């Protein structure tokens, strides 16, 4: 895997996610988005369906 990026974004919170989306929309496709949290399917949730709430889910950012 080639590791050559135009932009590296640290943090997949709302700002990081929207920055990566915006860069993609203007044609910058080699973006690395780094998040230290657990994979989304490994995060604690109240039920099997309670993975995300709201836009993208506050749970997605914690």
Mean pLDDT, consecutive 10-residue segments, the chain of 62 residues? Answer: 89 88 94 81 63 50 52
Q: What is the model's pLDDT at position 49?
A: 58
Q: Is residue 6 part of a domain?
A: yes
Q: What is the model's pLDDT at position 14?
A: 86
Q: How far apart are CA 39 and CA 18, in angstroms?
A: 19
Domain that holds residue 12: 1-38
Q: What is the model's pLDDT at position 48?
A: 58
Our count of domains for the chain comes to: 1
What's phi and psi for 3, nearest 5 deg? -110, 75
Q: What is the model's pLDDT at position 54?
A: 47
Q: Is residue 49 part of a domain?
A: no
Structure token digits, residue 4:
């050559």
């Amino acid at each position: 895997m080639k590791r050559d990026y135009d932009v590296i974004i640290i943090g997949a919170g709302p700002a990081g996610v929207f920055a990566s989306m915006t860069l993609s929309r203007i044609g910058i496709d080699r973006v690395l988005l780094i998040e230290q949290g657990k994979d989304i399917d490994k995060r604690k949730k109240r039920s099997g369906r309670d993975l995300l709430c709201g836009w993208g889910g506050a749970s997605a950012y914690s």
